[in-house]
Amino acid sequence: MCRNPGGMEGTDGHSVRVRAYELSQAPEAGSPEENWLRAERELAVAHEYDTVDRDLERLGMRVSRLPSEAGVVWRLSLPRGEEVEAWEPGNGGLAPPAEIARLIESASAGKQLVPAPPLSDDPGARRLREMIEAQRRELLAHDPGVRLGADAENLHEHRVAARRIRAYLRATRRYVDREWRRSLGDLLDELGELTGPVRDLDVLLELLNRELAELDRADRAAGEPLVLSVQAERETAHRKLLDALSGENYRLVLTRLRLPPRLAPDVDTVPLRRIARKVLADLVAAVDRLGKHPDEEELHRLRIALKRTRYAVELAAPDSKAGRRFVEDAKALQALLGEYQDAVVAEQRLRALVVDDARTAASFVAGRIVERQHARRMQLAKQLPSAWRRLRKSGGRLG
């Protein structure tokens, strides 16, 4: 076994590895495997390999391939610091020798090893990478339930995961590669446009069933056509969503999320705490511009800005007491704004249904529910200022 084969290490070595990875992806030299091997030979640096799902990285294991004289050295680094190296002649294969393949067999679950992009050791970049990966797993976990459509909470959690990723991309946009961010962000925006209508109808159905349960029997019967109409609209929107989930763009989202975030050129650190402070300052400025009597659209924009701020703070301060307090206060204000927005959507959709449905009884019941939603909105609006003051106070403690 060799212990110290050739290759550059340290900060300069990392830069070379980044350049080697870029060269390995170039289209003009042949297949990706040929490009990668050429980069190894020409730059003589160690490169890391993993499964496409980064199974080894998650377990704290590293597999490196280091060009050496008349062959290559494969190195396996284990979580507790043990290292195993094996040399093989030639420089044409991408499969590790049997000695190392046997040791990683369980961890890799038989998946093929592929060249892994060089990963930054910066804490901010690592945290961003981990948080995006966590949301990718959430998308996958709730995907079957979204397709089945029996439990609305699956779609809600699926949307939250996608929304968090979009918020991370937006918050760190100055520090990540622009094209990488846009290529992923555009696909996530498209996904949100398809899941949004289904989610709105799920919320409306839940509200209708809850409201009708509080009416007398005659009015409940009169309100049944409203429920059936919303259910039919929901089924149509869900079929459209299913088509998208079986499409190429959705598969592309999941594939791109497997790879770590690509930092912008010349970016070495991702200052998450500074980013969170900037996002919070933008939120405070937005609230200050609202005035005392914001309209529905302004409150909707505030709700979106609040979510982005909350996710930026979660990204930056996972173990901070002040951060946890801010997140809890943000959730409370977000819940009020969310309930307010649900009432707005319910009013708008029920008024539209009344226009389409000329039956007097159904129109009467819809009108009663609209009145209740309007009263609900007015009551919620009174609670918003105190919830905002609590959030602003906790935000000031973030430092």
Q: What are the pLDDT digits (tens) for 293-339?
A: 888 888 889 889 999 999 999 999 767 788 788 888 888 888 888 88
Break the chain into its structural domains and give their ranges. 10-115, 120-269, 271-399
Tokens read off for 104: 């990683």
Residue 179: phi and psi, rounded to 5, are: -65, -40
Tokens read off for 214: 């509080």
Q: Tell me, what amino acid is at 349?
A: R
Sign, CA dihedral 7-13-16-18, equals: positive
Contact 286, 305 (CB under 8 A): yes
Left, alpha or beta for 359 (phi > 0: left; psi -120 to 50: alpha)? beta
Buried b (16+ CB within 10 A) or exposed e, 268-305: eebbbbebbbebbeebeeebeeeeeebeeeebbebbeb
Which residues pair with residue 176 across a beta bridge?
Answer: 263
Q: What is the CA radius of gyration of the chain?
A: 27
pLDDT for position 10: 41
Q: What are the pLDDT digits (tens) for 70-120?
A: 677 888 999 888 999 988 876 555 678 889 999 999 998 888 888 776 678
Q: Which residues contact 183 (CB under 8 A, 6 or more apart)?
A: 256
pLDDT for position 382: 76
Tokens read off for 359: 């039956």
Q: What are the pLDDT digits (tens) for 7-26?
A: 434 445 565 566 656 655 55
SS (H, E, C) 339-369: HHHHHHHHHHHHHHHHHHCCCHHHHHHHHHH
Q: Which residues of the chain have pLDDT under 50?
A: 1-11, 44, 355-358, 360-361, 364
**Closest by CA position to 215, among listed 365, 348, 385:** 365
Contact 313, 323 (CB under 8 A): yes
Q: Spell out the alpha helix ranges (H) of the chain.
A: 10-24, 32-43, 55-58, 98-108, 123-148, 152-171, 178-213, 217-245, 248-258, 272-290, 296-316, 321-356, 360-396
pLDDT for position 164: 96
- Report the distance separating Cα 231 and Cα 209, nearest Å: 11
State the distance between the two ends of the chain, measured CA to CA, in whole angstroms.
Answer: 51
pLDDT for position 25: 57
Tokens read off for 381: 């609006």
Architecture of domain 120-269: Alpha solenoid (1.40)
pLDDT for position 221: 76
In the predicted model, what is the mean pLDDT of the chain? 81
Torsion of CA 264, 268, 273, 274, to 10 degrees: -70
Q: Tell me, what amino acid is at 120?
A: S
Tokens read off for 87: 């040399």
3-state secondary structure of 62: strand
- Report the distance separating Cα 32 and Cα 240, nearest Å: 36
Angstrom CA distances, 201 to 80, 100, 198, stand at 51, 53, 5
